[in-house]
Structure 1
Amino acid sequence: MGGSQAAMFCLERGVTGFRDRGDPPLPHIDPKACRTAWYSAARVAGGQVADFTEQKYPHSFHSATIKTRSGTYIGLFHAHYRLIAFVADRCFRYTDEFLEPPAWATALSDGGFVVLSAAQLLSPLADWDTSALSAAEWRQIKYWRPTTVGATLFNAWD
């Protein structure tokens, strides 16, 4: 996705998982909704859910695995927004390991989630509308210096 297309996607306040004490609480996506969507996607994929791991500090995401005849797929569910990314391996922290979603990922979109493409996730943060991010988030971005949007969204910053 080119810069002008990516800029149409606004990164919402709290998408990094950080806020100042005086800011409103971050939205919370119920892990049950993520798990339900993942099981539905597994049925569409003709596979089985191997695991679903709920978000734990300092991660900003839940992670899950589906095994099919064609391979193993790992999804990252953002803990605060209905965003999903695909990766090849489980890592503590992600930077540029993002993959294109499989064709069956449309089942996740049908469940109300936004399935992000590798091009979106690998694009520089400067290509996106970041006007809604808080001062607390910008402090974390300046400290951690993520090189991609995916690293900003699916982080393990403390």
Structure 2
Amino acid sequence: MTGFCSGKELKLPEVPVRTFRDGCYAAARAAGGAVERVFESAYPRNFHSAAIVAPNDRIAILCNAVYPWIAFAGAGAGDLESKAFVDPPAWAAAFAEIGFVVMSRQVLGSPLGSVDTAALGKAEWLQIDSWRPASVGEAVFNFWD
């Protein structure tokens, strides 16, 4: 979930930025818009991001770098640290069609304790205990180091 693992845990493969980019272009076509930018995850950010500009709309897209999980943030999300999550637009189905899991605003805003966290590893729990994310979204899309 967080993308952290210890030396004893298997390192998970990353979601290639190219796969995310392909999803963004498919979504932009479905939205009748254009991809404004795509950024690959870079330390300490654990997610790729992009922006799509559609008629009367600009939306940020976040993709966890380890898990194929997609979230959407509001038009003012140039500061992605605020992660003002919004409901997925209708064109979010373009991501689901190529294997991504589109996360709802409701799930992202849920307290971390309200979801099954049994599969989290020791390194993830150390980070969670240190950073104390208030929601699922804060744990899944983070800037932790």
TM category, shorter: over 0.9
Is the CA contact (8 Å cut-off) linking 1:18 and 1:136 kept in structure 2?
yes
**3-state SS in 1 of match to 2:126:** helix
TM-score normalized by the length of structure 1: 0.87
Question: 2:80, 2:66 → 1: CA distance?
Answer: 18
Structure 2 counterpart of 1:87: 73
2:3 pairs with one of 14, 17, 26: 17
Structure 1 counterpart of 2:142: 155
**3-state SS in 2 of match to 1:138:** helix
Number of aligned residue pairs = 143
Structure 2 counterpart of 1:117: 104
Long gaps (5+) in structure 2:
none
Letter in 2 for 1:80: V
CA RMSD of aligned residues (A): 1.1
TM-score normalized by the length of structure 2: 0.95
Q: Which runs of 4+ in 1 moved over 6 A?
A: none
Taking only the aligned residue pairs, the percentage that are identical comes to 43
Any idea what the Cα deviations from partners look like across 1:5-37, whole Å, max 9, x if unmatched?
xxxxxxxxxx20111112111221111111001
Letter in 2 for 1:141: I
Letter in 2 for 1:90: G
Structure 2 counterpart of 1:10: none
Long gaps (5+) in structure 1:
1-14
Distance 1:27 1:94, change over 3 A: farther
> In the TM superposition, what is the alpha-carbon distance from 1:91 to its structure 2 partner?
2.7
1:33 pairs with one of 19, 31, 44: 19
Letter in 1 for 2:144: W
Is the CA contact (8 Å cut-off) linking 1:94 and 1:150 kept in structure 2?
no
Question: 1:119, 1:111 → 2: CA distance?
Answer: 23
Is the CA contact (8 Å cut-off) linking 1:59 and 1:156 kept in structure 2?
yes
**3-state SS in 1 of match to 2:137:** helix
